[in-house]
Each structure stands twice: as C-alpha cells, then as structure tokens.
Structure 1
Amino acid sequence: MTAEPQDRAQFTAMTEGSQQDWTTIASHFIPFAARGGRRVLDHLKLLDGDYGGFPVDRLQHSLQTATRAHRDGRPDDYVVMALIHDIGDTLGAYNHPDIGAAIIKPFVSEQLHWITAHHGIFQGYYYFHYLGMDRDLRETYRGHEHFEACAEFCEKYDQSAFDPQYESAPLAFFEPMVMTLFEKPRQSLYAGAGAPA
C-alpha cells in the first residue's frame, strides 16, 4: 500500500526534517513494527523446498528444530528462536546466524540471542572435520556464560533435526508464538523505545 503524499514526510534529506515529518513517520512505524511477526512467518516460507543437499528442506529443518524444543517443554521464546535460527539461510550463505540473531535480538534474552548468533560455529562440531575445518572452533568460546546453552541447543534440537520421518508441527502451530514474541520488544536498540530507524 502506497501512502498518499499528505501522509508522508516532506523532506528530501533528514537535515530538513520537521517535527511534523517525524510524527508522520512514527505513525507509520508503530503499526509496521507490530506486523513483524507476520513478515518473519512469510520469510520462513521461502525456505520451503530448499534442500541444499540436506535430507529435509530448510523449512522442515526449522519446523523440526522448533517442534523438538516445544515437545521438550521449552518456553515459547526459546521455541521461536529454534524456529527462526536459520531464517537467514536464503540471504546470508556465509553468515546466516548473524541475520537470525539480528532479527530476534530486541525480543529475547541475551542468552537466546547469543545462541542464535553462535549456533553456526557450534553446529560445526558435527561436520566441520568432513570439510577440512576444525570441528573444535567452538572451543574459542569455552568459558562463556552461554557456551553450554548453545552446545545443548545444537546437540538436542539443531543437529538432530534432519529426519524425514519426524512428524513436525506445521508452521501454523507456531504462528501465535511468533506473533506474540514479535509484538513488543523486550529491549530497545535506540535511546527512545520504539524509535523508527
């Protein structure tokens, strides 16, 4: 939907912005931000059918990871983290954990953010040596307060979520959790909570 000219800021450079311009922008930002969960769900659908050589496609891997976490009694924020940990696969072939971590950062604890950001190198423990790499690269982080939590995530949920026979919950099952989590940030990345970027 395109905003009418009167419902848009009037500046051509931010140095020319006025209070009215930023009031207008903020009035658009708040409802846009509130629909973040819907955009996350839509983006997850892009993983459907993308196998990348794996036994299951990237969407099924995400669903399976989240389903395993849910069935293990993990709280909703952990389950959503498990669901979107690989959401960056389609955009960042070399740094997908950074993308998932950036998306989830304002909405989860520091521990869940850290797991998302570092799961790639921890997951490497299970396969790096087959690619001529050091499987123990995760040892760089040994002693970090979230090391064990990340290792556990990979061991229990991530590395084991490639089973074509596993009956995962459908994406619709996770929709309420995703929508609730992305409804309101736990922390602001800016000085003023809810500030548009």
Structure 2
Amino acid sequence: MNDISDLRVGFSAMTEGEAEDYKIISKSFKAYAKGLPERVLDHLKLLKGDFGGFPVDRLEHSLQTATRAHRDGQDEEYVVAALLHDIGDTLGSFNHADIGAAMLKPFVSERLHWILEKHGIFQGYYFFHHIGLDRDMREQFRGHEYFEDCAYFCEAFDQAAFDASYVSAPLSFFEPMVQRVMASPKQSIYVIEP
C-alpha cells in the first residue's frame, strides 16, 4: 500500500471532487495535522538571534514569558500561550499578536485567545508614550470581561521578560506542553479532527 503522502486525487477543481477524493484528502489532513506542534516549535526557533534592540533575543523573551507564567502557577494552556504569544514577529511585524492568536485559536480558551489577540495593544501601556503613541490605547477595551486578565498577562509576564540575567526553562521543557495543547483542537471551522 502507498504511503499517505503518495496519495493524490485526480481532480483539477474542487467542484469535480467526489466523496472518495475527500476521504483521501481527509486522511492526508489528519496525518499532516499531527505534525503541527513540531512545525510550530520549528517556527518559534526562528526567533533565536533576533534581538530587535532588546537585551534578550525574541526566543529568550518567549521562554522567559512562559517560564514566568509556569512559575506563577498558570495552567499548561496558559503557559503554551505565553510561550507562543510573539511567534508572529517573523511574519507579522506590524500585527504579530493577530498571528499568534489566530494560530492558537483552535487550541485555547476564548479568554486566552482574547489575551493573545490584544496583548500588543495592552503591552503598549509600558512604552507607547515613549514613541509618540497613546499608552492608554488599551482603555478602549476597559469593561471587557478579559481586560484585567490581559493587563495581568502583560504586567506579570510579557513586559517583565527582557531580563538578561533571568534563568528561563529551556525550550525542551515546554515542548511536551505544546504537543499536548496542540494535539487536538477545542474548536475548529472544520469537522475533521486530527
């Protein structure tokens, strides 16, 4: 029997597909989806060596943020969100928070998704006023049920995670957590489960 990666459907437009074609596609999707955590971790490693003017590189910032969340007693899903909160820096320099939030949306709670999506604006409280922006931009979300959660994430973990002397857990410590959190989506627009 052929390896799943060798199977191909014969249509040239999706409207030509039959149920058997979509069984092949579904089987291939499931096999590919199992590798998502590894691909995400590989992408996270691209942050290594990119300091962006900060005292630590973006990978260390991510490790520090996650380590601080873990040491604070946050659950595994939260720690993984903390680890991956800035993963969008490489592809979305102007909207990195949106990328991380979109990537993790199927795997995290609505609360964590909101924190990830808004953390860029909330983080601005600590520096926007130094670059000519309104540090209180986050106030547009005052009254939202997750406002304080996002403010806490930024204050306790994100803004504090630029300490060159801080001893972070290594990426290997977090890898099993990423594997577990991303093993199966909590929500998806697709019916297909990995």
* TM-score normalised by the chain length of structure 1: 0.94
- Give, in whole Å, the separation in 1 of the partners of 2:77 and 2:35: 17
User: What pairs up with 1:98-113 in 2 under 5 angstroms?
Assistant: 98-113=98-113
- Give, in whole Å, the separation in 2 of the partners of 1:127 and 1:193: 43
Is the contact made by 1:35 and 1:183 (CA closer than 8 Å) also made in structure 2?
no
Name 1:168's counterpart in structure 2.
Answer: 168
Name 1:57's counterpart in structure 2.
Answer: 57
Name 1:139's counterpart in structure 2.
Answer: 139
- Give, in whole Å, the separation in 2 of the partners of 1:71 and 1:89: 25
String of CA shifts for 1:61-112, please: whole Å, max 9, x gaps.
Answer: 0000000000111100000000000000000000000000011000110000
User: What pairs up with 1:113-192 in 2 under 5 angstroms?
Assistant: 113-190=113-190, 192=191
Name 1:194's counterpart in structure 2.
Answer: 193
Is structure 2 residue 87 aligned with structure 1 residue 87?
yes
- Give, in whole Å, the separation in 1 of the partners of 2:177 and 2:73: 14
Amino acid in the other structure paired with 2:121? I
* TM-score normalised by the chain length of structure 2: 0.96
- Give, in whole Å, the separation in 2 of the partners of 1:57 and 1:189: 35
Amino acid in the other structure paired with 1:34? K
Name 1:23's counterpart in structure 2.
Answer: 23
Question: What is the Cα deviation at residue 3 of structure 1?
Answer: 3.5
Range with bigger deviation, 26-35 or 66-75: 26-35
String of CA shifts for 1:34-65, please: whole Å, max 9, x gaps.
Answer: 22111111110000000111110000000000
Name 2:45's counterpart in structure 1.
Answer: 45
- Give, in whole Å, the separation in 1 of the partners of 2:4 and 2:131: 48
Report how many residues are paired.
192
Question: What is the Cα deviation at residue 21 of structure 1?
Answer: 1.1
Secondary structure of 2:25's aligned partner: helix
- Percent same amino acid among aligned pairs? 62
